[in-house]
Amino acid sequence: MKELYCDNFKAVFDPANFVQCGVDTKKAFEMLKPYISYMHIKDALKESGRVVPAGMGDGNVKYILTELFKRGFDGYLSLEPHLGSFEGLADLEIGDEMMKLPKSGEGTFTVAFNALNKIIADI
C-alpha cells in the first residue's frame, strides 16, 4: 500500500476475511487505516470461519467503524453478508452453515442492514 497508494489505488477492508485467515482485525486495521476508502460490512467467527451479521462475530466491526468515523471517513460501506445458502457459497466460505437463514436475497440483506444500523446507532 505504501508503494502504490494514490487516488486510483486504495484499500478495501473486510473484517471477516481477516478473521477467516486467523489475523487480528484490530492489528490489520491499524496497519491499513491510512489507506482504507471502502469497507465490506461482514463479520465472521474465529472458531469456525462462519460468516455472521456484523457485530456478532470476532471482526471488531464496531471498533473499526468507530475509528474510521473518528478519522472523518467518507468512503463506502458495502453490505456483503453471505448469510444464506446461495450458488457458489461453498467456493467462498467454509462450508454451508447458514441454512437456517433465508436464502440469499432480501431476507439476508435485511439482517445485514439491521445489524449495521445497530452498530452505527451505538457509535
The whole-number pLDDT of residue 92 equals 45
The whole-number pLDDT of residue 101 equals 54
The whole-number pLDDT of residue 31 equals 96
Decide if 110 is inside a domain.
yes
Decide if 102 is inside a domain.
yes
- Phi/psi-derived region of residue 60, left when phi > 0, alpha when psi is between -120 and 50, beta in every other case: left
Show the low-confidence residues of the chain (pLDDT under 70): 81, 83-106
d(CA 61, CA 19): 11
Helix axes 61-70, 106-122, angle to 10 degrees: 60
Q: Could you tell me the pTM of the whole model?
A: 0.82
Q: How many domains does the chain have?
A: 1
Structural domain boundaries enclosing 111: 11-116
The whole-number pLDDT of residue 85 equals 52
> What one-letter code names the amino acid at 5?
Y
The whole-number pLDDT of residue 55 equals 94
Angle of CA points 17, 87, 25, to nearest 5°: 10
The whole-number pLDDT of residue 111 equals 83
Decide if 40 is inside a domain.
yes
The whole-number pLDDT of residue 106 equals 63
The grid coordinates of residue 30 equal 491499524
d(CA 19, CA 94): 12
